[in-house]
Amino acid sequence: MSFYTAVNCMDGRVQLPLIEYLMKRHGVRYVDLVTEPGPVRALSGGDEDTARSIEKRVEISLGAHGSAGVVVAAHHDCAGNPAGKDEQLVQLRAAVRRLSSRFPDAAVRGLWIGETWRVEEVAAA
Protein backbone atom coordinates (compact mmCIF):
# COMPACT_ATOMS: atom_id res chain seq x y z
CA MET A 1 0.00 0.00 0.00
CA SER A 2 1.21 3.48 -0.75
CA PHE A 3 -0.08 6.67 0.79
CA TYR A 4 0.24 10.41 0.38
CA THR A 5 -0.88 12.97 2.96
CA ALA A 6 -2.90 16.02 1.94
CA VAL A 7 -3.67 19.01 4.16
CA ASN A 8 -6.64 20.47 2.38
CA CYS A 9 -9.71 22.61 2.85
CA MET A 10 -12.90 20.84 3.86
CA ASP A 11 -14.61 22.22 0.71
CA GLY A 12 -16.04 19.28 -1.21
CA ARG A 13 -15.21 20.85 -4.57
CA VAL A 14 -11.49 20.38 -4.04
CA GLN A 15 -11.37 16.82 -2.71
CA LEU A 16 -11.58 14.78 -5.92
CA PRO A 17 -9.31 17.00 -8.01
CA LEU A 18 -6.64 16.80 -5.31
CA ILE A 19 -6.98 13.05 -4.73
CA GLU A 20 -6.91 12.29 -8.46
CA TYR A 21 -3.89 14.55 -8.95
CA LEU A 22 -1.90 12.87 -6.16
CA MET A 23 -2.81 9.35 -7.27
CA LYS A 24 -1.75 10.07 -10.84
CA ARG A 25 1.30 12.26 -10.09
CA HIS A 26 2.76 10.05 -7.37
CA GLY A 27 1.31 6.65 -8.21
CA VAL A 28 -0.18 6.21 -4.76
CA ARG A 29 -3.24 4.13 -3.98
CA TYR A 30 -4.51 6.11 -0.99
CA VAL A 31 -4.60 9.74 0.12
CA ASP A 32 -4.94 10.60 3.80
CA LEU A 33 -6.96 13.82 4.00
CA VAL A 34 -6.39 16.27 6.82
CA THR A 35 -9.17 18.80 6.30
CA GLU A 36 -9.92 22.15 7.87
CA PRO A 37 -11.64 25.27 6.56
CA GLY A 38 -8.79 27.28 5.02
CA PRO A 39 -5.89 25.34 6.60
CA VAL A 40 -3.14 27.56 5.17
CA ARG A 41 -4.43 30.47 7.23
CA ALA A 42 -4.10 28.45 10.45
CA LEU A 43 -0.69 27.03 9.53
CA SER A 44 0.69 30.45 8.64
CA GLY A 45 -0.01 31.86 12.09
CA GLY A 46 -3.76 32.40 12.05
CA ASP A 47 -4.77 29.85 14.70
CA GLU A 48 -2.13 28.00 16.70
CA ASP A 49 -4.55 25.43 18.22
CA THR A 50 -5.81 24.46 14.78
CA ALA A 51 -2.26 24.37 13.41
CA ARG A 52 -1.19 21.97 16.17
CA SER A 53 -4.23 19.79 15.48
CA ILE A 54 -3.32 19.63 11.79
CA GLU A 55 0.27 18.72 12.69
CA LYS A 56 -0.91 15.92 14.97
CA ARG A 57 -3.01 14.41 12.18
CA VAL A 58 -0.14 14.69 9.69
CA GLU A 59 2.10 12.98 12.23
CA ILE A 60 -0.37 10.08 12.50
CA SER A 61 -0.55 9.73 8.71
CA LEU A 62 3.23 9.77 8.31
CA GLY A 63 3.81 7.38 11.20
CA ALA A 64 0.99 4.91 10.69
CA HIS A 65 0.86 4.87 6.90
CA GLY A 66 4.40 5.82 5.93
CA SER A 67 3.14 8.43 3.50
CA ALA A 68 5.41 9.17 0.56
CA GLY A 69 5.01 12.90 1.14
CA VAL A 70 2.80 15.75 2.26
CA VAL A 71 1.02 18.44 0.28
CA VAL A 72 -0.69 21.53 1.59
CA ALA A 73 -3.38 22.96 -0.67
CA ALA A 74 -5.12 26.30 -0.94
CA HIS A 75 -7.91 27.08 -3.36
CA HIS A 76 -9.99 29.61 -5.22
CA ASP A 77 -13.24 30.78 -3.56
CA CYS A 78 -12.37 29.45 -0.10
CA ALA A 79 -15.09 30.23 2.44
CA GLY A 80 -12.79 29.36 5.35
CA ASN A 81 -10.08 31.69 4.09
CA PRO A 82 -11.68 34.34 1.86
CA ALA A 83 -8.34 36.02 1.10
CA GLY A 84 -7.36 36.54 -2.53
CA LYS A 85 -5.00 34.25 -4.41
CA ASP A 86 -1.88 36.34 -3.79
CA GLU A 87 -2.42 36.39 -0.03
CA GLN A 88 -3.30 32.70 0.06
CA LEU A 89 -0.10 31.87 -1.82
CA VAL A 90 1.93 33.76 0.80
CA GLN A 91 0.10 31.78 3.50
CA LEU A 92 0.61 28.55 1.57
CA ARG A 93 4.36 29.04 1.37
CA ALA A 94 4.47 29.80 5.12
CA ALA A 95 2.42 26.64 5.79
CA VAL A 96 4.83 24.55 3.71
CA ARG A 97 7.80 26.02 5.63
CA ARG A 98 6.11 25.23 8.96
CA LEU A 99 5.32 21.62 8.07
CA SER A 100 8.77 21.13 6.49
CA SER A 101 10.33 22.31 9.74
CA ARG A 102 8.04 20.13 11.86
CA PHE A 103 8.56 17.05 9.65
CA PRO A 104 12.09 17.40 8.23
CA ASP A 105 12.17 13.84 6.85
CA ALA A 106 9.01 14.35 4.76
CA ALA A 107 8.82 15.97 1.35
CA VAL A 108 6.32 18.84 1.80
CA ARG A 109 4.99 20.81 -1.17
CA GLY A 110 2.31 23.41 -1.82
CA LEU A 111 -0.56 23.18 -4.30
CA TRP A 112 -3.04 25.72 -5.62
CA ILE A 113 -6.45 24.63 -6.88
CA GLY A 114 -7.78 27.30 -9.22
CA GLU A 115 -11.24 28.35 -10.31
CA THR A 116 -11.44 25.53 -12.88
CA TRP A 117 -10.47 23.06 -10.09
CA ARG A 118 -7.17 22.26 -11.78
CA VAL A 119 -4.31 21.49 -9.37
CA GLU A 120 -1.06 23.41 -9.81
CA GLU A 121 2.23 23.04 -7.95
CA VAL A 122 3.41 26.20 -6.21
CA ALA A 123 7.10 26.97 -6.18
CA ALA A 124 8.63 27.62 -2.79
CA ALA A 125 9.61 31.24 -2.18
CATH of the domain at 102: 3.40.1050.10
In the chain, which residues have pLDDT < 50?
none
Q: What is the pTM of this model?
A: 0.93
- Please tell me the predicted confidence (pLDDT) of residue 1: 63
Domain limits for position 23: 3-122
Range 10-45 burial, b when 16+ CB lie within 10 A, else e: ebeebbebbbebbeeebebebbbbbbbebbbbbbbe
Average pLDDT, the chain: 95
- Please tell me the predicted confidence (pLDDT) of residue 46: 81
- Please tell me the predicted confidence (pLDDT) of residue 108: 96
Looking at the structure of the chain, the number of domains it has is 1
Residue 108, number of CB atoms within 10 A of its CB: 22
Residues 6+ apart with CB under 8 A from 110: 71, 72, 73, 74, 92, 93, 95, 96, 121, 122, 124
- For 54-82, how does the pLDDT look when each residue is reduced to its tens digit (9 = 90+)? 999 999 999 999 999 999 999 999 999 99
